[in-house]
Amino acid sequence: MQTSSRRAPAFVFALALWAPAFAHVSLPPGGAAAGSTYDAAFRVGHACQGSGNTTGITVRIPEGFTLQKAEPRAGWTLTTAPGSVAWRADSAQTALPASEKAEFVVRGALTAKPGTLWFKVLQSCDKGIADWADVPAAAADKPAFPAARLDVLPAGVAPVEVRDAWIRIAVRGQSGTGAFMTLAAPAGARLVGASTPVAGNAEVHEMKMEGDVMRMRAVAGGLELPPRQAVALKPGGYHLMLTELKQPLVAGETVPLTLEFVDREGRKGVARLQVPVRAAAAAGGDDPAAAAHRH
């Protein structure tokens, strides 16, 4: 655990707050596996309402997260104390401007018990503060200053966020089609397999131009998902190739799809989806890769 030689200022958390800031201090969606080591990267999107920059971030550590390390930031003083980690800009020149985004990262061991952890974060600015500390009483609640949420997932559930998934239509007699989506794994992972009852086989493929020819190949060893980076599976690039289709796929219906992942520590997990069938991406239009899915 790292502790600065400078004395940490005291904080009182029952404070009168400014109006809600433009963006939350949040953790990447997707969650983390119970019992794993997790890098909690708190994303600061904007300074407090009416201020020019962020001058301090204090993270209060909840039960269920055992702090191991906090990452220093150049031009900031890092201080750790029982139950909290704080970063303070050393000067106005090193403070975080309202127009810029940044991550403040702490590593820790997660509880073996699945559930939800709430990290309360105090954001100090050149004008005022924002205390991101509200815990919703119900799922539908949308507090003005929500605490950062982390879903601790049970064994077998992949800590990966899946967005905008869709499968291209397939007519009767067509043997293959493609599935597309965006994947993000906060702690990093690999997409190593997939299955669906509508196809005999599902593989991760890549399409790319080689000279003047568009070629498609299977991705050996699975598709790497770097920590906290979104990876797009899209027409003309990485995608899931569904072959040996057992039925037509009609626009408007949904198809069960299971994705298989392995995390950095070798744990296996799956994501079970219901994916809509469409004629093309939401933006409309076809693509050069479509013909490869119609054989």
Judge contact between 137 and 246, C-beta under 8 A: no
The reported pLDDT for the residue numbered 293 is 47
Look at residue 295 in the predicted model and tell me its pLDDT: 41
Q: What angle do CA 239, 240, 244 make, to 5 degrees?
A: 140
Q: How many residues does the chain have?
A: 295
Residue 146 is encoded by which pair of tokens?
Answer: 């929500």
Paired strand residues for 116: 151
pLDDT at residue 210, as a whole number:
66
Mean pLDDT score of the chain, rounded to an integer?
86
Q: Which residues have C-beta within 8 Å of that of residue 113, sequence separation ≥ 6?
A: 34, 64, 152
Structural domain boundaries of the chain?
25-153, 161-293
DSSP string, 162-184: EEEEEEE-B-TT--EEEEEEEEE
Amino acid making up residue 64: G
> Averaged over 242-268, what is the pLDDT?
94
Q: Which amino acid is at 215?
A: R
225 dihedral zone (left: phi>0; alpha: psi -120 to 50; beta): beta
Q: Give the range among 31-45, 245-259, 274-288 with minimum mean pLDDT.
A: 274-288
What is the rounded distance in angstroms from the CA atom of residue 47 to the CA atom of residue 53? 5
Helix (H, G, I), strand (E, B) or coil at 83: coil
Q: 25-73, pLDDT tens digit by residue?
A: 999 999 999 999 999 999 998 899 899 999 999 999 999 999 999 999 9
Q: Taking the CA of residue 203 as centre, how many other CA atoms within 13 Å lie in the half-sphere pointing to its CB?
A: 15
Judged against a pLDDT cut of 70, whether residue 292 lies above it is answered with no
**167: nearest Cα among 136, 129, 128, 196:** 196
The pLDDT value recorded for residue 23 is 55
pLDDT at 207 over 90: no
Among 241, 239, 274, residue whose Cα is nearest residue 256: 274
What is the band of 281 on the pLDDT scale with cuts at 50, 70, 90?
low
Rg (CA), the chain: 23
pLDDT for the residue 53:
96
The most confident of the ranges 76-85, 233-242, 286-295 is 76-85
pLDDT at 284 over 60: no
CATH code linked to domain 161-293: 2.60.40.1890
- Identify residue 166 by its one-letter amino acid code: W
Task: Write the CA distances from 250 to 5, 79, 159, integer angstroms.
Answer: 65, 57, 30
3-class SS at 291?
Answer: helix
Do domains 25-153 and 161-293 share one topology? The answer is: yes
Query: Could you tell me which of 89, 112, 111 has the C-alpha nearest to residue 100?
Result: 89
Pairing relation of β-strands 115-125 and 53-60? antiparallel
Dihedral class, residue 139 (left if φ above 0, else alpha if ψ from -120 to 50, else beta): alpha
**The pLDDT value given to residue 70:** 97
pLDDT over 60 at 14, yes or no: no
Q: What is the CATH number of domain 25-153?
A: 2.60.40.2230
Model pLDDT for residues 106-144, shown as the tens digit of each residue: 999 999 999 999 999 999 999 999 999 999 988 888 899
Q: How confident is the model at residue 147 (pLDDT cuts 50, 70, 90)?
A: very high
**Residue 8 above 60 pLDDT?**
no
